[in-house]
Amino acid sequence: MSQANTVTVKILDKDYQVACPEEQEAELVVSAKYLDKQMRGIRETGKVIGLERIAVMAALNISYELLQASEHGETDRSTPDPGAVESLTRKLDDALYQLRQLEIG
């Protein structure tokens, strides 16, 4: 098992530090950019306010896309496996929790 290093990703103009194995760093960066794009699209509609709500809506949209892709038998390498998605979701949840703690403090 490789040692995790800290990767900084930017989502909605905020930096998040995420622990990630070195061999998964590129995938994490691509995932963060995709999440940023999805969250910006949701924010620009003006219908959803608040970082946490925007993040939840983006997570729902991405989950829907993943389910649709798996139901249609798409095995495109650009679609991450569910285990990787769960791992990234946990990392994003941790980052959002830390952000909320900083905003409270």
**pLDDT at res. 69:** 85
What digits encode the pLDDT tens for the residues 1-38? Answer: 566 789 999 999 999 999 999 899 999 999 999 999 99
Q: Which residue has the tokens 């995938």?
A: 27
Local structure of residue 7 (DSSP, 8 states): E
Q: Examine the pLDDT at 97 and tell me if it is beyond 90.
A: no
The three-state secondary structure class of 21 is strand
The 3 state secondary structure assigned to 33-80 is: HHHHHHHHHHHHHCCCCCHHHHHHHHHHHHHHHHHHHHHCCCCCCCCC
Return the CATH superfamily for domain 4-104.
Cell division protein ZapA protomer, N-terminal domain (3.30.160.880)
**pLDDT at res. 42:** 92
The percentage of residues in the chain with a pLDDT greater than 90, rounded to a whole number, is: 43
Domain ranges of the chain: 4-104
CB distance 36 to 11 below 8 Å: yes
